[in-house]
Structure 1
């Protein structure tokens, strides 16, 4: 969660955006972090965040851009991992006016279920700001070293499709999907995730995420190689033990009637039970390849099997 908090804090610190972009970000934050409610026939705007800097950013915009007062309320929620704090920005008296100003109510005062049309069809700064606001509201980012994803939990399918559409305008392919009872928009390609973080205004977090992900992948690769080598060693050791037992049995069956080159290969196997075939080949006099030593041991075992079968037939 620390990196996710850093991303949202970095996004909340952006203060050089044009008014259009600030409005697009505010609308997206309200849409994805809560929305509109009717209380005693009055429209109330409420948005809840897991990031205090994000909540404060929205509260400041509601005052500076739209001219309305809002309340910032700390809410404690019980989660499976313990108690978590959430921060709710609530506009009571001017909720209806703010909903109209942000485009979350259309001209007929009907709720907009996706994103306002002037944002979806707006300029690139509005598109970036909308994604920024959606991420600050309900974005998730994978921990470095795990399967890569950047994901936004959406309030409905219309909002998810709107996010996919505006991501396409940024040249990034996002996928809408339903997970249990929630709609989500997901990026899984690491390069696309890094690019999106940069586009929405978090280049520092993007570098940190990419660096930690690369380190995690390197460690994971090293662990996989170590496990692979360890497994190979265990298999080789097991095969060597089995081969030694077979050679011992072959010597008992054949007695002194063994070609010298086969006897020498078998004796090497017994004298160096943990050695690989390549090592046995180097120990041979003169040295031979691992294929040659393997072939001699194989012919020794085949000869013993042939002799045992003949004796069984004669008995």
Structure 2
């Protein structure tokens, strides 16, 4: 099951009977037709549970029983398309939901009262997400929530509604419409809270934390590996210089304090500066050890 479907099925478990939610679903997935001088409203979805939910909303709010049918998509996936059809009192329903438009059949923007009322806005967001929302699986590491709108003005209004809830929504044009989207993980989690998908929010947050923890560990491991490689390279360079000194002027030519550090480096190529310091007869700091090794390297360079 996709993460999008998981979110939708969670919020479907709560029947709201809210007109703003129904208005959003009709706005996103509804179409009008005229048959035998009768105005029909069709609402389509690929999710059987959403179809049943729409059916229950209409029946509960308007005490009208719609019809539900389905047909198979003519492609390899063979998904079913469910249609909730209302053939009675359509004009009254559209008028009550403030969706009627004398020219286009359905108004294209979002009603001002939804933009002004936080509670109405939350229910509207539930509806638009049920009808046309998708969320990328947080396990993928790329966070994205999208809501597709046929009309540009609706996508812009939707972004403004999300801005009201302090979410950084943006709009991008697509071939057949426009997409309102969120890309920040924190915004997506806040959106899930707004529409009542608390369990999905917890799953999303856990996936985000686990991924960030893995990334932090990888960065730490990479840094440690780089430091080890750097230490090994420096050690090999110093050993090479010590051997050069032994072959030219002789080991005994080194001052006693340099000779002792050089011998420990030869005997223990993998030692860190601190480990060399701990091995000395006379206590010395890491910087002191480093200073003596640099003297040895400088002396070798002058030979």
Provide TM-score, normalisation by structure 2: 0.82
Residues 288 and 52 of structure 1: CA distance in aligned 2, closer, same or farther (over 3 Å): farther
2:169 is aligned to 175
Distance 1:237 1:42 in 2: 84
Structure 2 stretches of 5 or more lacking a match?
none
C-alpha separation in 2, matches of 1:156 and 1:239: 64
Gaps of 5+ in 1: 309-315
Of 174, 178, 191, the residue aligned with 1:196 is 191
Residue by residue over 1:228-280, the C-alpha shift from the partner in whole angstroms, topping out at 9 and shown as x without a partner, is 32332233223322332233223333324222222222222221112222222
Moved more, 265-274 or 108-117: 108-117
Q: CA deviation at 1:204?
A: 2.6
Most deviating of 69-78 and 290-299: 69-78
C-alpha change, 1:230 and 1:70, in structure 2 (3 Å) is: farther
> How far apart, CA to CA, are the structure 2 residues paired with 1:275 and 1:49?
67
Is 1:73 matched with 2:67? no
1:30-76 CA distance string (max 9 Å, x none): 323x3426588986644443543222211322344342523342544
Q: In angstroms, what is the RMSD of aligned CA positions? A: 3.1
The alignment of Structure 1 onto Structure 2 pairs a total of residues equal to 297
Per-residue CA deviations over 1:97-144 (Å, capped at 9, x if unaligned) read: 3555543332455432222444334x3332111100111122223433
Question: Deviations 1:134-155 (Å, cap 9, x if unpaired)?
Answer: 1112222343352444332332
CA gap 1:140/1:245 in 2 versus in 1, 3 angstroms: farther
Distance 1:51 1:216, change over 3 A: farther
For 1:275 and 1:191, the matched residues in 2 are separated by 45
Deviation of 1:284 (Å): 2.1
Specify the alignment match of 1:144 in structure 2. Answer: 138
Deviations 1:188-232, CA, capped at 9 Å, x for gaps: 444433332222222232233223332332233233323332332
Counterpart of 1:272 (choices 248, 268, 272) is 268
Deviating 4+ runs (over 6 angstroms): 39-43
Q: SS state of the match for residue 225, structure 1?
A: helix
- Paired position in structure 1 for 2:12: 12
Residues 91-100 or 285-294, more deviating: 91-100
Residue of structure 1 in register with 2:125 after alignment: 131
- Following TM superposition, by how much is the alpha carbon of 1:92 offset from its aligned partner in structure 2, in angstroms? 6.8
Change (3 A) 1:305 1:83: same
Matched, 1:282 2:281: no
Aligned pairs for 1:1-315 within 5 A: 1-15=1-15, 17=16, 22-32=18-28, 34-36=29-31, 45-66=41-62, 67=64, 69-73=66-70, 75-76=72-73, 83=77, 85=79, 87-91=81-85, 93=87, 97=91, 99-108=94-103, 110-121=105-116, 123-145=117-139, 146-169=141-164, 171-178=165-172, 181=175, 183-255=178-250, 256-306=252-302, 308=303
Q: What's 1:313 paired with? A: none
Distance 2:44 2:260 in 1: 79
After alignment, is 38-47 or 262-271 more displaced?
38-47
> Aligned equivalents of 1:42 and 1:231: distance in 2?
75
Tell me if the contact between 1:26 and 1:61 (Cα under 8 Å) persists in the aligned partners: yes
> 1:249, 1:42 → 2: CA distance?
100
Contact conserved, 1:75 with 1:87, CA < 8 A, in 2? Answer: yes
Question: Residue 119 and residue 245 in structure 1: after superposition, are their counterparts in 2 closer, same or farther (change >3 A)?
Answer: same
| Aligned equivalents of 1:95, 1:270: Cα separation in 2 | 94
SS in 2 for 1:91: strand
Find the residue that maps to 1:83 and give its secondary structure.
coil
Q: Is the 8 A contact 1:24 1:130 kept in 2?
A: yes
